A and B are shown apart, each in its own frame.
Chain A
């Protein structure tokens, strides 16, 4: 049965398709290849999620080698859910990417973009699906290197420095992760995650394990752009091609947050991470500071793409906050926000890409009057923005609801009030765009609505934002089961 090989196909398909892109080179062919591989991955991941949800954990031995020697892939609800997010967002954005990348990159370099995209997808799906700590590092490097390439393809020359910045920071992060994994191997003699989690308690009092934990936490936090390690993100998001930004914002940081969850709660136990290492206090403080400081910084940006990049750092703060609350509801909130934030930021960056396609700029001043010249695009931005704010009937509200609930369950009033108060900062930065778009007079140049090939995928995500806001049963169900899995309650 082919379905028993589903876990490895997640990685193998895009990995094989990537070099094929370099061979074919032709824009439409490479695009079709990338899109079909991504869609197949999406379907496979849905089937994996369903299997993991209904029958429990799926284990797969790579090449038939049993676990301690070979590499094991392990799929439970947590990572299957992340697989769905990553491959799903990749598919939707790829539909959009054809026109957008052709405009921003020019026809000559476009096969490089699809190659990089597929490699990045390989890496992200690999990190998520694997049950082997060293394998995580390997896939992390694959995804990082390919994302440096993707960012450097940006239409502005500053994309090169942004990519270099990310390269330096990303390498530091990856090295830290490698050191952490190495130290753990030294202490336990295994790289398999399941074995690690069994053997760590025996040695968890040693300084070596503490150091390993610190290296891992810092390394992953750097990749996830957890405040104050977010230095690389604003530039990378601002100067990357629009489609790449949408894809990365919806997937890359999400995978790192997943890794954080996996290491903290599964490999190290909850009691070790949160009580012995007292990580929850650090996470709570960093989460709150991130939300407020980064939202404030976002308010003062002149470039709308950069503004949303800072907002992304703030939103990572919400996820960190959910993890820091360390209750089933808190973790559920964090996982829910993984999904919900992917939907809203994907949609918002795609709407910005539509605007860039027509007016070649994303400076706030240049967006004057765009509400009249590009009504559908602007409407998409407004709905996406409302979702980001957390207005009822959108996904943002669902995340916020669970975060508040988690805070109140702990009787932390101040935190609940802080969470809702922070969404008002989002109102401010979203409304700056709304006012520019609708109240300022449009310049006299002729501007048309974006083409349908860009608008349809954008609106697809907008509709998803509303649909999963009105009917959140499904996502809440997956997220709460995933949280129970992580905390060992199921």
Chain B
């Protein structure tokens, strides 16, 4: 019973926080205290759930349709995602204070309110006990992040918002919803079940179509050609890009892919029927193509966005390799990429607050005046590339191991090539920052200082986190093997 209440509280805490934030809108300090308090409380709540490891508990929120409850459960992969998202929310909240005030952004109350609602939706996605619940919170997440993406209210923001909402709603309605009703019609229920629910319930000839409907329907996973919303969402303030478009929203997408692969299709069923083949190639193509596009982008946030598109497809690819090692790697990548990418976005935001620069070619020599930011940036880059001593190493290791044990040599090659591309488009940034001479005159470059303290502290914490995960990957691994072996 305790666990059930705790599950429901993971949704209610951020929602209640949103109400309090709105109420405290006139006093910025109190408002930010509420945000941080809520995020800490939520994180503790998720940790509490993590401790209750004795079997899966299920809590029903409501029953909209007969036989289709909105319900939450404590499932390992979901708990991992919830831990990552809620933990990083604390750090992002601290970072936001520095960023939003440093930039004198408007409508800050609205910003924090919708941020809290988005987190509630992300928690719902993470802990959903059936595909229906996942879909509902997925849509809530899309809608509650729209005001954040369009926060600036400019024409550019409105345009970005259109692409964002258009692609995410179009894919989820046209594909995801149809796949959902199809699954329900075939299997008779939608509960996430170890080993899948579709075996023997559906004609294998149609299976590749259903897989495609799910994978393209989950537009948040940003498989090409439905990836355009992610770069478009970069018009948002950087904390939004950092937490939502490196962690909560995009990870909600790949998390859904992973969860549906494991618990709806079942990896054995997919392997036996070979229905994964097609989508494996789509994911592989996205990995390479998005990396190539990232090479051409000079705008830092745009480059990071395309890097995210590419990295998300690692996870989809891991799921589509359909063996337990690759699935563990994919699950790990959710956590390690989250840490690495949020660090990079924090750095991008810190540079913007300190210098108002957005293009990589303008950032020569900034490493000397912003050493902490650039050191964190270096660690983040190394983690995304997947070099040892950073967490990114482990996830890439298991993904490649998965490709090898599936004897998909082409996929192994894809991972290798993309690693090289990662080096090419990411390492440029710290190299230019540290080694290139500053463009501007010494007088102006002396004026450049680190961003406000909360922002720098936040990015330092996540950078250290990247390294810590390398040494303490064991709990992560254990949690995920629990899932992949059922």
Contacts and interface: CB of A to CB of B under 8 A. Distances in A.
B223 to A, nearest CB: 19
B62 A470 contact: yes
B178 A401 contact: no
Contacts, number: 74
A424 to B, nearest CB: 5
Chain B at the A interface: mostly helix, strand, loop or mixed? helix
Contacts of A330: none
B281 interface: no
Interface residues of A, number: 32
Interface stretch (A77-85, A131-139, A385-393): A385-393
Given A420-B178, A469-B64, A471-B62, A408 B158 contact: no
A431 interface: yes
Contact of B65 (A398, A400, A417, A421): A398
A386 B173 contact: no
Q: How large is the interface on B (under 10, 10 to 19, 20 to 34, 35 or more residues)?
A: 20 to 34
Contact of A401 (B65, B140, B155, B170): B65
Nearest to B153: A439
A472 B70 CA distance: 12
Contacts of A386: 143
Contacts of B166: 424, 427
Contacts of B155: 439
Contact of B140 (A393, A435, A438, A439): A393
A393 B63 CA distance: 11
Contacts of B48: none
A68 B218 CA distance: 60
B185 interface: yes
A391 B66 CA distance: 19
A405 B185 contact: yes
Contacts of B174: 417, 420-421, 424
A472 B178 contact: no
B421 to A, nearest CB: 35
Nearest to A477: B66
A404 B63 contact: no
Most buried by B among A392, A400, A439, A469: A392
A204 interface: no
B139 interface: yes
A409 interface: yes
A182 to B, nearest CB: 44
Given A391-B139, A421-B173, A424-B173, A398 B64 contact: yes
B301 to A, nearest CB: 22
A470 B133 CA distance: 12
B310 to A, nearest CB: 28
A392 B155 CA distance: 29
Given A420-B173, A424-B174, A431-B165, A391 B181 contact: no
Interface of A: 386, 389-393, 398, 400-401, 404-405, 408-409, 413, 416-417, 420-421, 423-424, 427, 431, 435, 438-439, 469-473, 476-477
22 contacts: A389-B169, A391-B139, A392-B139, A393-B136, A398-B65, A404-B177, A405-B185, A409-B185, A416-B178, A417-B174, A420-B177, A421-B174, A424-B170, A427-B169, A431-B162, A438-B150, A439-B150, A439-B153, A470-B64, A471-B62, A471-B64, A472-B65
